[in-house]
Structure 1
Amino acid sequence: MTRSCTKFKRREGTAGILGHLYETKLISLFYFRAIHEEAIEEFQLASNVDKVGAFDDICFKTRVTGFEKPISVFIQAKHRENKNQTLEIDLATYFISYLNIRKHFDPKNEDSFFKSTYDEAECLFVIYTTAKDEIGNSSDIASEYTDVVYDLIGTAAGGTVKQPDQQEERVNWLCEIAMKEQMIQLADRMCKCIDDEINLDNLLSDELMLRYHYILAQQVLHVDDLQPDGETRVATFRADFFDNYENYLTVFKDSLYKEILKRRTIDTNDIARLLNEYLTDPTDVTKLSKVNKQYNEYYTPDLKRLHNVSHVTVEQATDLAARQILSELQVKVPAAFGNKDLTLCSNENRKKRRIKHLITKITEKLENCQFSKIVAINESSPKEFLELNGGLAGAIGNIFVLDDETKLMKITDNFESLETNAKLLYESLNKEIELINKTKQGHRDLLRAEEQINLRQYRFSFNVYKFPKVLLEYNEYEKHLARDFLNKLIIYSSQADEKTVEKKLKAEIEESLTLNDSFYAKIDEIFLKYHNEIQDWWLKPKEADYLTKDGELFKNATRYMIADPLTSSLSVPFVRLMRQYNYTFTDDALHSLGLSDQELTTIVVAEYSTLTVAKVMQYLKNKDYAALDIAHIARLEVDMRNALRRELSFTNENKVLIFVCDDVMGYKNKRALKNIAEAVLGKRCIIIANQTSAILLQRYFRAARTVCDERNGLMDLSEDCRRRVFANAGVEVELEQKDMRVELKAFVGA
């Protein structure tokens, strides 16, 4: 597995305040176990991975001692407050996600997580829930791979681990889903071909196009003869395609209509004009179809509400608009598209050698099946024998045609329908068969009929993934996908809830560390710091580094706690609470503070300290810092205060100390402030206070520069934060409930 530093793409909408604790605590537990398990040689761990569907919550890939393949696990985590609640398992959604994930695996993928073929990794797809599951016809599982994964992610001794059975009815149902997904993807490829977004030389290198180009040429497109360049053909849409409502073809057609209309644009003024024309006679579907050529405008609630245009009418107009566009198109396709002819190179000598090679292989197959008369050709055959250019894949639909009775392939008896290369192969094959039969006859006085090779009697069963389909229905490949999915889908139900996961992680941390009684920072504080590190990583909005075996997140947490245990134990809960508010600011708002790394002490005058503390923490996000509340320090026992003062005086000079001083007018607060000021002399400090407290602070921190934080308007928040701020006015966090509505009201100037 590649160990280079790589990043993964995050899907949008993954940085909300609520609902993520379960996920981040699971990640904290899994990561902790992975870095401490010696058998795990290396791993990559990611969360909220873009474009992998339902299994994006937690993804990890690992190499384990004793296993040939790396293990790739994709997890959807479902937390339910009521553990007796039953979780509905939507197999269709999970199967579509499985299909999407398969596509990501590619030896050319720059993302090292997916840089291999799918089969080169042992992939597992996990539904992980605190609830019960209702999947019927399932069974317990036990395999070496699932045992390894369970050791990493299992959290409940009483939980269940099982997978759906491979019932024929279930397999067939999933095959239908796979076919419909392929039709949607095929429509997308077709649009890209129409708009010249796919190089013609690469069109049939696309596996989906390779499997369906023959069917497209039979049921969707009329493909003309070779162009003068000898390398391309021109295709137009068949008139009967638009009125064909066969199941899978309808899915393809609907997707094609939707996508092709999305890609067409009309000037806004033209849309308004056309819409006004239509509204003079709302029964005229033809006029509405002209508007519908701009798909994003074709059906809005306003149109329906204001003008009483029915959905059926809009659908009819959409259908007409797409037909008009498609029926006028001429699409350039490569010469091999549709297998109108066998594809061979133009060099005559090489063409003859290829024909001879094909005939030799075909006759070998025929002679080996003389009695059954059914020739099975599968992936075990040589690659050059199977490929599209010069192989059997290019003979599907010309030399090999469908036998309606057996649904197998046979050799055509319609010689006149063949084009040049196919005719050459057909004639050469028949001559070779005649020669073989004569040779056999020459060695025997009487040759029985069943010993002769009669091409009309043979049927061919092609079970090769990259062969063109001749029927628009699922076959063994789709069944393989369905069975593989069911074999790799694992349901972890009745697992530990969020609070129990935390307890379990704390227990495992305690077991791994030796802490003495004088060590102020106990397991709770280490957990808080470690979980904060994980949450910071989890909250990165667009791109993040994979967590790896040699990562520093857990080490940072323990190192931080051991270096300044009392400072850490006081700072971590405060910092954690601030992060739960999840305020983030624009770059301009951050720079407006005027903070400088060259200044030791800065006093920031702030009307709303909560917002300013959040802003300073964001500014220092890549630095080592601690945040302390002077009022809280003043309430500590004398021994604890003195210990903190000593610890602060020896704090590493690279650490930034944030002090919140909302109220320093009381005697205890003033004394605490004076002691702290003496202890941190020469340290980098940022002190946040209101206007009244700032005057007193200048007495104790005489060298400090004073700035004002005035950029706390709604537009100073980041875009994501602005969307969240009102929805989360009352924020429930683990430590306590904080009602922020009063502060927010002032904050937005309401």
Structure 2
Amino acid sequence: MNSTSYTKRAGTSGIQGQLYETKLISLIYFRLTHDDSVEQFSLATNRDGIGEFDDVCFIANIKGFDKPLAVFLQAKHRENDKLLTFTSETDLAKYFSSYLKIRRTFDPSNKDMIFEGNFDDTECFFVMYTTTKGCPKNKMYEGAYAEYLNKLIGTGGCCTQPSYTDDDLDLLCKIVMKDQITTLATQLAKFICDESESEMSTNNDIMLRYHVILALNVFDVSEIQPEGHRIASFRQDFFTNNEVFIVLIKNILCLEVLKKQKSVENDVQSLLLKFLSEPSDVTTLSKLIGSVLTYKNDKIELISESITDDLQRQLDKANVPQATVYEAAELAAKEYLLSLKLKVPASFGNKDLTIRGDNKKIDKRLNYLTTKFIELLKQSEPNDIVTIDESLGDGFLQLNGGIACAVGNILVFDETSRLLKFIDNCESLGDLAKKWYEKLTTKIKKLHEYKLDIKVQKFPKLSFERGEYDMSIARDFYNKLLFYTNQATQNGVEKILREEIDNQPCSDVHNFKIRSELIFLKYHDEIQRLWLIPKVGSYLTEKSKVFENAVANAMSEPLMGVIKNMHNIKNKILTFNENAINRFAMQHDGRIIGTIIVSESCVLTVAKVEQYLGSKNHVVLDLEYILKLSLKNYNTLCKELTNTTKDHIFIIVCNPFRDLRDSDNRLENIAKAFDGKQIIVITNKTSVDIMKEYFCQNGMCMCRNVRDDDINGFDDLSVESQKKFFAAYNIKFQGKYVSLDVIIDDESAAAGLIDKKAFYELINDETVKIGNRVLNNRISINNSVLYDCNNYDKLFYIDRRVSRTKTQEHDKFYDVKDKVLETFYDLEDDVVLISGKQGMGKSTLLMYLSLKTKELDPKVWIVRINFRDQKDFSLRCNINEKIVTLVCQSALCDKSFLLVYDEGISYHIPEKDSSFTYYVSRKKNEHLKESPVEYNFSKANLCSCDPRALEIKFFLHYYNRGKLILLIDDFDERIPEHKEIVDECRKRKHRIWITSESPPSSNLQLWFGPSYKIENFSPLEQKKYLTLLWKFEIQFQNLYSIQDIEGIVDLMQTEHKEYLRAYVLFLEFLKAESMAEGFDFPYEEHYNRFKTKFGLCENTIPYFPDDITPRQLYEIAREFDENALNTWALFNLSLSLSA
């Protein structure tokens, strides 16, 4: 691969996302090529290896700017107007990790067209680009590049940046540390598996920073060997150390070593089967990890391609906890690692000072270091902090002969100040370190009282504390992070691009205007082609000429060719199978010329006619498009048609449109132009009489036959075309647009699922809905909380922790402590029982997990069973069929239907029931031995084209294959059918989550295993919950108007004592908000006044009870808002409370 190309990741699967990306790329590339201030640029899409900001990447040299401009953009197309927030720690970590990957990729030695050079020498921006609303608390970006960025990539609202706090920086610093540790462990693994006799290098930045920590916690390091190096071997206690980052080193190191070794086990197939039957078996997994299985993106994946599809499918469903993977990797790698003897340089671990040369040179260097230190320390008094920064120069700071080699011997970590200090005595020091220490103590009294604050990037660390360098990276990320919200949708981007193409200067304006649609189509078609190329992409540059070629091709064609080309580009994916074409030929007796074909879908019939004609010279002309041409272009086209030779076949398409009857003169002229030509007219029933009037009468009997075309079903398409159709078309599945290929993974079942009505709707870009929206479920909590839950932007959700303790009756289960739940896949039980007292947020937890699970896995169908909607099952069917009906009614948008399970017997439907009735057939399924009945949509249905029919088909498809996640939020053990539902669905391998009041009954735990108890909020979580609530509830119109809040203190005297804690937390909230806006809020003054008024010490301000529920906390906060803050509005505070 050369420097003009790059490695691509797989593209977006959904058609809406694909179109959004390709149209956005088309627009940005168009603007880059038509902006005179852009001297040169390189643009890529779906760039592999750089994380989230990879949808659109470009670098450009711009006149008037010293540095090149680089933009790394993630495009998020959303059909709703949901608010874009940046509060999730998981999301923040994901985007920051992408920033770090990009930062690392920049390198002067990298010959890539974007990444050649230093990161600091390029003005990089990381852009969240979305159609959704922006957070009102974001601040406007007004930097030097603001206007230019808006000009290059903007399609809607202005550019903003998130505000941040020290807590946000602290989180990012931990991510920096994790990223560095991962890189460190990966480098160690690479060196270990290199199998060369060379020494480990400490010349790279990561090893330089951490080699002392490695020597203290990971390796035993020998004295210097005769050859000049040391020997490092792994410590036994390295594998039992519980420090978070040491554990991370161990986990990554073991996995990476196993990946690189790839030892092969015998009988892989049987080992895999054993592992799949018990995914928590560490011993079995340890024999497979690295050689057969790998761990990537928090998921177990196959390395070998020789495994059967059945095993692959089972592996995809296996839920292996991360802890199990790491434990297995350690078991597999530990013995090998302990046996290693690694060569490391003499400087490794700083066991002594590293100064090269003879004794004279060493003394000279020690004297220099001593003098330099005396100068620094004289500037400070004992107990003062001495700052060590880059201004001191490389010679003084370096590892060989500089103070960096003193870290870990003379300089040690001070637990109190979290800085470096001098060691108290020199007994354990090496010879050179002891010699320098004695020089220092002779010259400097009370040496051990000085502290050193290190603000140098390339410097050894003694702890995993965040440093100034880590903080600078975190700040840099926030300073380079831009939000482009309220941007145009993919249709809006197309409209903007078309307008900008139309506005291009051209000598023949009228001719250019009519051809501009073809220019756009050809141009976007080429961008799509480049976007779809797998694995390796070529950079688009100022020399690529993609747009210029589209213009040249469009302008050189006759007008008739323009219309033909537009049709060809728009209708690429539709081809029919051989059987459909043969039936079509028989239907027309081989005489299709001179026929008016009446079709329910003109698009499909046109595609079929074109395929039938094959290589014969034909042109497809859209009558509506022709009739709406400007007079000049209309006359030009009629002249071209008249002069066309008779060997052309013209396919005239007439979809109904409003002004068809008002175009008599033009229709007559067009009919005359076709006189004597070979034509085929394709229309629908609405317009057939008009087509007969002009093409079968008026003395021009060009069409002698009128025939219907009904060979237009989904199953009439070719297999390849069906696949393309699945990838190209979306349905609205549980409120989210997903492509059909995501939710239909069984091609053999596809034809039975997509009926004609749905097929036509999809072809015509109409919305087809399947299943209830995840949020469309009523939950048993108070009205205000219910309002917030149905408006997810206003849901004040804090990550919830669950714990489980196994009992003697349930010894096969394992203990779980403070497990944070993000999705329904975080627990591997087939039935999960969640318990908690009333108000603990069980329903809200299920809703949050539903949303997050759908984000992770769009194809899953999540069904909340609602027993209140259960119908009267008076029809003759057994309990299993009642279960199917209840689950189906819970899953679908419209519940006004009945299912009747037929075996050739007609059931009487009561006249009083106006519901639609659908018949379901039953058959044995050998693959489901415990519950061998499979349910299918019966051919006996008379209303198969009703919208609910499609939903029911999809539901039965999911139900038969065990692909549902069932949520039962009001389980009643007193009703036998409730347990029967769980038992039947459990047999079918559906995931099931049940909630129960705490403590759950013994019956529930006997049936479903020990429950997971929702943990109470910690004091920190209580604070976070209230802070989130206030952030959404209160919009400050002017923070400078915060002048006097003593009115709240007065209110406290007559209100609940819980308000005291709410008041203190509210003061902290105001302080943080003020700091974010650059306003100095007098926190201490108000806090001290509050304590004085109530005679309180810090430790007597009451906390919320440990067992307070989220609902109680919510109600306290609401009451505090309504009483205290509305009262406070009289005291010069300009704020507005949300509804």
Decide: shared fold, TM above 0.5.
yes
1:94 aligned residue: 95
AA partner of residue 150 (structure 1): N
Deviation string, structure 1 residues 510-540 (Cα, Å, up to 9, x no partner): 2222343355743222211221222222222
- Give the CA deviation at 1:104: 0.7
Query: Matches of residues 305-704 of structure 1 in structure 2 within 5 Å?
Result: 317-370=328-381, 373-430=384-441, 433=443, 453-514=445-506, 515-518=508-511, 521-566=514-559, 569-577=562-570, 579=572, 630-632=618-620, 640=637, 642-643=639-640, 671=677
- Give the CA deviation at 1:79: 0.7
The secondary structure found in structure 2 opposite 1:380 is helix
Deviation string, structure 1 residues 38-74 (Cα, Å, up to 9, x no partner): 2222222211111111100011112222221111111
- CA–CA distance in 1 between the matches of 2:469 and 2:529? 43
- Give the CA deviation at 1:340: 1.3
- Give the CA deviation at 1:384: 1.9
- Give the CA deviation at 1:713: 9.2
- CA–CA distance in 2 between the matches of 1:466 and 1:145? 31
- Give the CA deviation at 1:78: 0.6
2:999 aligned residue: none
- CA–CA distance in 1 between the matches of 2:320 and 2:13? 39
The secondary structure found in structure 1 opposite 2:620 is helix
- CA–CA distance in 2 between the matches of 1:276 and 1:534? 45
- CA–CA distance in 2 between the matches of 1:328 and 1:639? 85
Is 1:242 matched up with 2:230? Answer: no
- CA–CA distance in 2 between the matches of 1:499 and 1:287? 52
C-alpha spacing 1:631/1:154, structure 2 compared with 1 (3 Å) = closer
C-alpha spacing 1:292/1:161, structure 2 compared with 1 (3 Å) = closer
Asked if the contact 2:3/2:112 (under 8 Å) is kept, the reply is no
Q: Give unpaired runs (5+ residues) of structure 1.
A: 434-451, 584-607, 615-626, 649-658, 674-711, 739-750
Query: Matches of residues 117-266 of structure 1 in structure 2 within 5 Å?
Result: 117-133=118-134, 137-156=137-156, 159-196=157-194, 203-230=201-228, 232-266=229-263
Task: Tell me which of 17, 22, 25 is aligned to 1:24.
Answer: 22
1:267 aligned residue: 264
- Give the CA deviation at 1:138: 2.8
1:700 aligned residue: none
AA partner of residue 113 (structure 1): I
Deviation string, structure 1 residues 78-107 (Cα, Å, up to 9, x no partner): 11122x223454222111111111101111
C-alpha spacing 1:58/1:645, structure 2 compared with 1 (3 Å) = farther
State the TM-score, normalized to the length of structure 1: 0.72
- Give the CA deviation at 1:413: 3.8
Asked if the contact 2:150/2:158 (under 8 Å) is kept, the reply is no
C-alpha spacing 1:330/1:609, structure 2 compared with 1 (3 Å) = farther
The secondary structure found in structure 2 opposite 1:54 is coil
C-alpha spacing 1:196/1:532, structure 2 compared with 1 (3 Å) = same
AA partner of residue 267 (structure 1): V
- CA–CA distance in 1 between the matches of 2:182 and 2:3? 35
AA partner of residue 464 (structure 1): V
C-alpha spacing 1:270/1:492, structure 2 compared with 1 (3 Å) = same
- CA–CA distance in 1 between the matches of 2:282 and 2:499? 69
Deviation string, structure 1 residues 532-556 (Cα, Å, up to 9, x no partner): 2222222222223322234311211
State the TM-score, normalized to the length of structure 2: 0.49
- CA–CA distance in 2 between the matches of 1:288 and 1:668? 73
C-alpha spacing 1:564/1:242, structure 2 compared with 1 (3 Å) = same
Q: Give unpaired runs (5+ residues) of structure 2.
A: 302-309, 577-604, 627-633, 653-672, 680-717, 729-739, 767-1139
The secondary structure found in structure 2 opposite 1:19 is helix
2:1096 aligned residue: none
The secondary structure found in structure 1 opposite 2:484 is strand
Report the identity percentage.
38
1:111 aligned residue: 112
- CA–CA distance in 1 between the matches of 2:454 and 2:43? 40
Asked if the contact 2:260/2:290 (under 8 Å) is kept, the reply is no
Asked if the contact 1:55/1:76 (under 8 Å) is kept, the reply is yes
- CA–CA distance in 2 between the matches of 1:460 and 1:31? 51
Asked if the contact 2:564/2:621 (under 8 Å) is kept, the reply is no
- Give the CA deviation at 1:275: 9.0
The secondary structure found in structure 1 opposite 2:207 is helix
Deviation string, structure 1 residues 243-285 (Cα, Å, up to 9, x no partner): 2222222222222233233334443326679899999x99997
The secondary structure found in structure 2 opposite 1:127 is strand
- CA–CA distance in 2 between the matches of 1:146 and 1:201? 49
AA partner of residue 501 (structure 1): V
- Give the CA deviation at 1:129: 0.5
1:588 aligned residue: none
AA partner of residue 45 (structure 2): S
C-alpha spacing 1:384/1:43, structure 2 compared with 1 (3 Å) = same
2:1063 aligned residue: none
- Give the CA deviation at 1:209: 1.6
C-alpha spacing 1:235/1:519, structure 2 compared with 1 (3 Å) = closer
C-alpha spacing 1:463/1:638, structure 2 compared with 1 (3 Å) = closer
C-alpha spacing 1:414/1:205, structure 2 compared with 1 (3 Å) = same
C-alpha spacing 1:180/1:735, structure 2 compared with 1 (3 Å) = same
2:806 aligned residue: none
Deviation string, structure 1 residues 589-629 (Cα, Å, up to 9, x no partner): xxxxxxxxxxxxxxxxxxx9989x99xxxxxxxxxxxx996
AA partner of residue 26 (structure 1): L
Asked if the contact 1:15/1:540 (under 8 Å) is kept, the reply is no
Q: Identify the range of structure 1 (504-513 vs 539-548) with the bigger mean alpha-carbon deviation.
A: 539-548
Task: Tell me which of 30, 52, 55 is aligned to 2:53.
Answer: 55
Asked if the contact 1:47/1:57 (under 8 Å) is kept, the reply is yes
- Give the CA deviation at 1:473: 2.3
Deviation string, structure 1 residues 679-699 (Cα, Å, up to 9, x no partner): xxxxxxxxxxxxxxxxxxxxx
Asked if the contact 1:44/1:60 (under 8 Å) is kept, the reply is yes
- CA–CA distance in 2 between the matches of 1:26 and 1:297? 36
Deviation string, structure 1 residues 355-396 (Cα, Å, up to 9, x no partner): 343333223222333567432111122112212122222221
- Give the CA deviation at 1:77: 0.5
C-alpha spacing 1:512/1:201, structure 2 compared with 1 (3 Å) = farther
The secondary structure found in structure 2 opposite 1:150 is helix
- CA–CA distance in 1 between the matches of 2:69 and 2:275? 59
Asked if the contact 1:303/1:309 (under 8 Å) is kept, the reply is no
- Give the CA deviation at 1:462: 1.4
- CA–CA distance in 1 between the matches of 2:97 and 2:273? 42
- CA–CA distance in 1 between the matches of 2:402 and 2:563? 73
- Give the CA deviation at 1:240: 1.8
Asked if the contact 1:14/1:541 (under 8 Å) is kept, the reply is no
Count of residues in Structure 1 that have an aligned counterpart in Structure 2:
629
Query: Matches of residues 266-285 of structure 1 in structure 2 within 5 Å?
Result: 266-269=263-266
